[in-house]
């Protein structure tokens, strides 16, 4: 005897009570729609939930989403007719005769594939439906908070990728120059200004040498990258150090000025030490050499900075900075590190920091 329909209870639009034939048809339909949507048959539940990021992760770029939707073949009309009766969130109508299946459809499919059909019907218990709803909610919560988590990890030095070496070098150059107050701030020069190119090269000279020694990459940056207006190195540094790097726009008639407030100086040095310690091929002596070479290159170009009255390097302070950076590196390198599960990159979302130095 088939149980009385529990019309008041359902899971993602699917009734809690189904006949065996309804289960068979729904399982077949969801499997076919999954193959159309993701160009593969359903695999493991964990892996398939990651596939759903292609369309349902809020961090996917609009253009990537449009490109992916354009590649999906139209859904057969009989499939559209049957599944659209169950509607969203089980399936999503994206127009032009195409529907998608996502997290909810895959969870339903997982449940139905493991149900016993010998009694002629299936009853989805409240514990089963409740667990599936919580799983979907937890997954969407994880995705929706992804940007926040990403920013927090970057600013606390826990991001998946280390800070780019050129950005570390630029930050150290600012510290070497003692640009820790508005009075000693570095003007943001644009390479299009007549004097901008030479002044930018002066501040970047040490950063480039540091990056070369730390990353083992001797590639020079383009002139566009070697500037403090919309330059990659500064953008990367600000992604990581956030409020600890200040751009004082001040008088709109004058250039903006860049500095690391004195109250954040020790925090920044500790951050850089911890981040550099995450590089497996970097050791104390190599870091010390890279710092020394940064200072040599910086001072060799400091004439340009002195000409603009923005050179504030003082050997005693630079020596102290060197010691504190190396101490922070050594301390972090000697601390035990918790194991972290490797998380696959988010589909359609690429961070500049994921590039190699």
Side by side, the strands of the sheet bearing 246-248 are 186-187, 257-259, 246-248
Give residue 63's Cα distance to chain centre: 18
Among 118, 117, 88, 115, smallest CA distance to 104 is for: 88
The SS3 assignment for 352 reads: helix
**For the chain, which residues make up each domain, given as ranges?**
10-144, 156-335
Q: What is the pLDDT of residue 349?
A: 41
Tell me the two tokens of residue 29: 């339909």
Task: Please give the Cα distance from 95 to 78 (Å, whole number).
Answer: 16
Q: What is the pLDDT of residue 224?
A: 47
Task: Please give the Cα distance from 234 to 258 (Å, whole number).
Answer: 10
pLDDT band per the 50, 70, 90 thresholds, residue 187:
confident
Prior bond of 89 cis (ω within 30°): yes
pLDDT band per the 50, 70, 90 thresholds, residue 192:
low
Residue 226 pLDDT > 80, yes or no?
A: no
The residue-averaged pLDDT of 162-174 equals 92
Task: Please give the Cα distance from 20 to 112 (Å, whole number).
Answer: 10
CA distances (Å), origin 237, targets 82, 92, 145, 241: 53, 40, 23, 6
Summary mean pLDDT of the chain: 83
Q: What is the pLDDT of residue 356?
A: 40
pTM for the structure as a whole:
0.58
CA angle 317, 276, 207 (to 5 degrees): 60
Q: What is the pLDDT of residue 201?
A: 73
The predicted-structure confidence for 64-83, as pLDDT tens digits, reads as follows 999 999 999 999 999 999 99
The SS3 assignment for 95 reads: strand
Scored b (16 or more CB within 10 A) or e, 269-282 reads bbbbbbbbbbbeeb
Tell me the two tokens of residue 14: 């699917």
Query: Token match 């997954």: residue?
Result: 139
The SS3 assignment for 220 reads: coil
Q: How is residue 311 annotated by DSSP?
A: -
Residue 269 pLDDT > 90, yes or no?
A: yes
Task: Please give the Cα distance from 65 to 227 (Å, whole number).
Answer: 33
Q: What is the pLDDT of residue 352?
A: 40
Phi, psi of 195 (to 5 degrees): -95, -5
Task: Please give the Cα distance from 159 to 308 (Å, whole number).
Answer: 37
Query: Token match 């630079």: residue?
Result: 318
Q: What is the pLDDT of residue 304?
A: 66
């Amino acid at each position: 005897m088939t149980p009385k329909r529990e019309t008041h209870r359902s899971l993602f639009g699917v009734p809690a009570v189904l006949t065996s034939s309804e289960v068979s048809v729904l399982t077949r339909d969801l499997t076919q729609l999954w193959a159309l949507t993701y160009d593969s048959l359903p695999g493991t539940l964990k892996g398939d939930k990651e596939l759903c990021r292609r369309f349902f992760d809020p961090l996917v770029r609009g253009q990537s989403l449009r490109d992916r939707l354009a590649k999906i073949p139209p859904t057969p009309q009989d499939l559209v007719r049957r599944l659209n009766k169950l509607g969203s969130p089980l399936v999503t109508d994206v127009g032009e005769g195409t529907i998608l299946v996502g997290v909810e459809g895959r969870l339903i499919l997982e449940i139905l594939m493991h149900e016993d059909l010998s009694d002629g019907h299936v009853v989805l218990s409240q514990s089963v439906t409740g667990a599936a709803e919580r799983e979907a909610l937890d997954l969407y919560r994880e995705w929706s908070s992804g940007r926040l988590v990403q920013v927090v990890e970057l600013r606390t030095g826990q991001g998946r990728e280390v800070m780019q070496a050129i950005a570390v070098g630029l930050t150290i150059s600012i510290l070497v120059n003692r640009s820790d107050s508005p009075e000693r701030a570095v003007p943001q020069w644009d390479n299009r200004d007549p004097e901008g190119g030479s002044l930018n090269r002066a501040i970047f000279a040490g950063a480039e040498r540091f990056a070369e020694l730390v990353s083992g990459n001797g590639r020079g940056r383009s002139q566009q990258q070697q500037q403090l207006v919309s330059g990659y190195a500064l953008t990367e540094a600000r992604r990581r150090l956030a409020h600890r790097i200040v751009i004082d726009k001040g008088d709109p008639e004058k250039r903006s000025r860049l500095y690391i407030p004195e109250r954040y100086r020790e925090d920044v040095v500790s951050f850089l030490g911890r981040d550099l310690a995450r590089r497996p091929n970097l050791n104390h002596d190599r870091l010390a050499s890279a710092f020394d070479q940064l200072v040599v290159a910086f001072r060799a170009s400091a004439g340009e900075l002195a000409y603009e009255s923005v050179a504030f390097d003082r050997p005693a302070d630079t020596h102290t900075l060197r010691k504190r950076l190396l101490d922070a590196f050594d301390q972090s390198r000697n601390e035990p590190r918790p194991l972290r599960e490797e998380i696959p990159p988010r589909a359609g979302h690429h961070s500049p920091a994921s590039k190699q130095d």
